[in-house]
Amino acid sequence: MRITAPEGMPRPEGDDGYALLEMVWSWLVNNSEWPTYDELDRCLYQSGVDTEKAIQQLPPDLVWGIDAGMRNRPQDGQPVELTAAGLANCAETGHVLRCMLLLLQQAIEVEREWWPPGTERGKQEPSIRFEAFKAFAAGRDPSHFDRRTVELAAVLAFAEPWSSALSRGPQPVEWFEREGSSSEPSSKDYWELSFNKRVRKYAGFGPDDLPEYWKLRQQLIGRPEAMTVEEAVRPATAQPEPEPVPALAFNCSLHPEIAAASAVLMEKDEYAFAVLAAYKAVEHRIQQLTGLTSNGHNLMGAALSPPNVRIIVTRSTDANLESEQRGMAAIFSGVMQALRNPRAHGPNKVDELAEAAETLVLASWLMRRLDIAEAAQAAAVVSPAAP
C-alpha cells in the first residue's frame, strides 16, 4: 500500500514522483548523506523511472534542490534533500519523523536555557548531540530510538527551517579534553545539530503533531497553503523596469563555476535561487578541496580558521598572513550564515536584481580565492616538500 503524507501536507501527483522520494530516502539510509542530482538521476534511470517526469509530479516543499515542475534543471552536483513532508510520503519513516519532532522539542528547551559562551570560538549557537538526546527522549517518549535513527532524524532536521548547522565526523583533540572523553568516537557515531532563536516559534508540538508542525512551518516560511505543480509553474507577474544604471558602473565576468550555477536562474528572474546556487557551489567546492563533509559556517571554520588551515585562500606571506587568514575565514563563514542559510531555509524573501548581481560578484571573488587553494594543492603534489 502506498504511503501518503497526512492531510494538509503536499503529496506527489503520480507514481514516478513517489518513486523519486523513495529513492532519495533509500540513498540517505544506505549512504548516510543525501544524493546529488546526478546520482539520483542515474538511480532512477536504472530503475526505469524518467527523472524529469518524476520531478514534474512533485509540488513545492517536498524536496530541496529541485525546482517544482522542473522549471530549471539542477546542477549535477546539487544535493537533493527531503523535507519533513517529502519523508512523510515514504514507507517506514514514521519513527524518523517522530524522532525529528523530539529533537525539535529538545532544541526548544536547550535554547531557552542557553547563554552565549563569550569569546569561546565555534560555539556561538546552542546544539544537541546523541547522548544528550538519548537522555532527553528516555523521559518523554516510550519509543526506542537507536543511534542510527537519531542520526537520520538529525540529517532531516538540518533540511528543516529551524536548524542552522549539522556537523558529523571526528572532532579535534581539544573537544575530547573539554568534554572529558577518554576515547574518540568513530566518525559515523558523531553528530551535532545546531540551531538558534528560530526554534522558539515552534514551541508546543509533540512527536505526534506532524500535520500541525507542517502547517506552522509553512506559515513561517511564507507559504501557508499547499501548492500544486500547476500553481507553482504558473508565470510570475512581470517585474518592473530596472532602475537606471548609476553613474559609476562596472562590467565583470563571473567565475565560470558561478556562471554555470546561476546564469540560467538569473535569466529567469529567479534571483534568490541564483544566489543560493552560487553559494552552494562555493560550499561544494570547499568540500571537494578539503574532503570535509560538514556544511555552512562549520565547514568554513574547519577549512579556513587558523592555526589549522586546510586550504590556502590568502595572498599574504608576511606578518599580515594570520590577519588575512582570520579575515577570509570570517568572510567565508559570514556569507554562509547571511546569504546561503536564509535562502536555503526560508522564509522566502524576494531578491532584487541589483542586490543579486552584487552578491554573485562576491561569490565569484570567493571562488577565485578557491582557485588559489586548488593551485597550491596542485603545486604541492607536483613538488612535495623535502623530508
| Alpha-helical segments (H) within 93-160 | 94-113, 130-138, 147-158
Name residues of the chain where pLDDT drops below 70: 1, 68-72, 118-123, 169-189, 227-249, 347-348, 382-387
Assigned C-alpha cell, 335: 556569507
Q: pLDDT value at position 280? A: 93
Q: Please state the φ and ψ torsions of residue 215, each to the nearest 5 degrees.
A: -60, -45
Residue whose C-alpha is closest to residue 81's, from 295, 301, 348: 295
Asked whether the beta carbons of 281 and 367 are under 8 A apart, the reply is yes
Q: pLDDT value at position 245? A: 59
| Half-sphere exposure in the Cβ direction for 366 (13 Å, CA) | 28
Distance CA 23, CA 2 (A): 14
Query: Where are the domains positioned within the chain?
Result: 15-88, 94-213, 252-380
The pTM of this model reads 0.59
Distance CA 152, CA 145 (A): 11
| Half-sphere exposure in the Cβ direction for 149 (13 Å, CA) | 19
| Alpha-helical segments (H) within the chain | 15-31, 37-46, 51-55, 84-88, 94-113, 130-138, 147-158, 173-179, 210-220, 229-233, 256-267, 271-290, 296-304, 321-335, 341-345, 353-382
Q: What is the pLDDT of residues 128-152, one digit of tens each?
A: 998 899 889 988 887 778 889 999 9
Give the pairing of strands 63-64 and 127-129. unpaired
289, 312, 375, 376, 377 from 381: Cα distances, Å:
13, 14, 10, 9, 6
Sheet order of strands, 191-195 included: 127-129, 191-195, 163-168
